[in-house]
Structure 1
Amino acid sequence: MGNRTTWRWAVTLSALVLTTGCGGQAKPEASSSRPVPTAGTMTTASSPATSPTPAIDPDMPAAARAHTPAGAEAFARYFFAQFNASLQQAKPDLLGGLASDACKSCQAFIDTAVEYRTNGQHYSGEPFTVATVGAIDQQGNDETRVLVSGVQHPGAVVDASGKIVQQTKYQKGQFSVHLKWINGAWVAEELKVVK
C-alpha cells in the first residue's frame, strides 16, 4: 500500500480525526445540512528550498522557537492552539506564518477559517484538545516528525445569530506533523492522520 491517505474536508478537524486505512477514503464524523467540499490529499511533496516562508509569528512562545526536539514539540502544541483559535475566531491569518505552502492540510485549515469568516460563522468550543506531543523521528538538525494525540469534543459551527450550521462528535485522533527548521523557525511541512 502507498502512504497516501485521501480525505474529504468537513468544515472542522473532524474530517481529520478519523479512522482511515492506507489509501482509504476518510469518512468525517460530522453532520451538516450542506455538502462537504473536497480539499485534496493529506500527503504532500517536500517543498523546494526556494519556497517562500512566512515571517515568524511574534506571539509564538519562546519554547516553540527553540531549534531542538523539545522546541519542535512546543511548536506543534502552539500550531494546534492556533488552529483552534483560527476556527473559533474565524481568523485564517493565525495559521499563515506556521505552515509552508507545501502543507495541503494546513492550507485546508486556513481555507476553512476563510470560509467561516466569509459566511459569518465560527466554531463554538475547542476543535481539538491536544493530550500528548512527542518527537518521533529526527532527520538531522533541521527536520523532525512529531506525533500529536488528542480528542475532538462534541462541538458546533454556528452563524452570527448562534444558529447551529454543523455539529461534530467526540473523536480521538493522532497526527504525524513533519516540521522543518527554515529561516530560524519551525514550519509545518506536512500533517497527516496516523492510525
Structure 2
Amino acid sequence: MSYAVALTTAATLALAGCNGNDEAPTPSPTSSASSTGSPTPSPSASPPQSASPTSSASASIDIPAAARSHSKSGAEAFVRFYFKEINAAYLAPSEEAADRILQISTDACRSCAAGSADIRSLSEAGQRLATPAFAQMPDVTAQKVSDTNYRVSFTMTQTDAKVLDGSGKVVDKQVAKSQPQLAAVVWEEGSWRMDGLAAA
C-alpha cells in the first residue's frame, strides 16, 4: 500500500452520512515492495461528531494568520494549511510530524488519525515520500453550516510520489489521480480544526 493512500482511503469514509457519498475510488500503488502502510479505518454509519482536540493547535503550531480567521476565507485557508502540513509530514516523517496532524484535527476525524498513523509507520520504517503527496488546491470554496462549522469543497489531487527508503531506493509509488472532496472544519478554542474528509 502506498502511503498518502491511507489518508485518501480514510477520507473516503470520514464524512459518511454527511454527503451521502462514500464510494470514491481508492488509489493503489504500482508496486507492493513496502507493507508498512497503516490499515484503513472501517466506515461508520453515522457522521462524525465534533470532539475535543488532542491538544491546543495554536499553542505549538505556527498557523498562518489567514488560516486563523474565524470566517469563510479563514476556513478555506485552513484547509490549504492542513494539506501543506500533510505534505510536509510525508516528506519528513517523524513522531512530531504525526502529532502535528492530530493537533490541528478533532478526535472525530478518522482520516486525520489514519494519516497520522501512516506518517508514524513511515518514520518507524525509515521511509519518506520523495515529493509532495498532494498538489496545490486552487479551487477551495467554503460554505457556512453554522457559526462554528464550515463545509469546504475542493479538488484533491494525489501525485505520483515515490516512496524512498533510508538509502534513497524507491520501494513504492502512489497512483496519480484527482477527485472532488469535502472537508468539515470546526472552530474550537479560538482556531480551526479538521473534523472530517469525504468524497464529494
TM-score under structure 2 normalisation? 0.80
Q: Name structure 2 gaps, 5 residues minimum.
A: 14-19
Residue 170 of structure 2 corresponds to residue 164 of structure 1: yes
The answer to whether the Cα contact below 8 Å between 1:13 and 1:128 also exists between their aligned partners in 2 is no
Task: Tell me the SS of whatever aligns to 1:127.
Answer: coil
Aligned residue type for 1:40: P
Query: What residue is the counterpart of 1:12 in the other structure?
Result: 4
Aligned residue type for 2:141: G
More strand by share: 1
Query: What residue is the counterpart of 1:5 in the other structure?
Result: none
Deviation by residue 1:80-134 (Cα, 9 ceiling, x = unmatched): 0000001111021331211011100000110011001101011110100132211
Q: Could you tell me how far apart the structure 1 residues matched to 2:23 and 2:155 are?
A: 21
Query: What residue is the counterpart of 2:70 in the other structure?
Result: 67
Question: Deviation at 1:34?
Answer: 4.3
The answer to whether the Cα contact below 8 Å between 2:152 and 2:185 also exists between their aligned partners in 1 is yes
The alignment's C-alpha RMSD in Å is 2.6
The answer to whether the Cα contact below 8 Å between 2:76 and 2:141 also exists between their aligned partners in 1 is yes
The answer to whether the Cα contact below 8 Å between 1:130 and 1:149 also exists between their aligned partners in 2 is no
The answer to whether the Cα contact below 8 Å between 1:178 and 1:189 also exists between their aligned partners in 2 is yes
* More divergent stretch after superposition (111-120 vs 17-26): 17-26
Task: Tell me the SS of whatever aligns to 2:117.
Answer: helix
Q: Name structure 1 gaps, 5 residues minimum.
A: 1-8
Question: Deviation at 1:190?
Answer: 0.8
Query: What residue is the counterpart of 1:30 in the other structure?
Result: 29
How many residues align structurally? 183
Task: Tell me the SS of whatever aligns to 1:77.
Answer: helix
Aligned residue type for 2:121: E
Name the % identity: 27
Query: What residue is the counterpart of 2:136 in the other structure?
Result: 130
More helix by share: 2
The answer to whether the Cα contact below 8 Å between 2:104 and 2:194 also exists between their aligned partners in 1 is yes
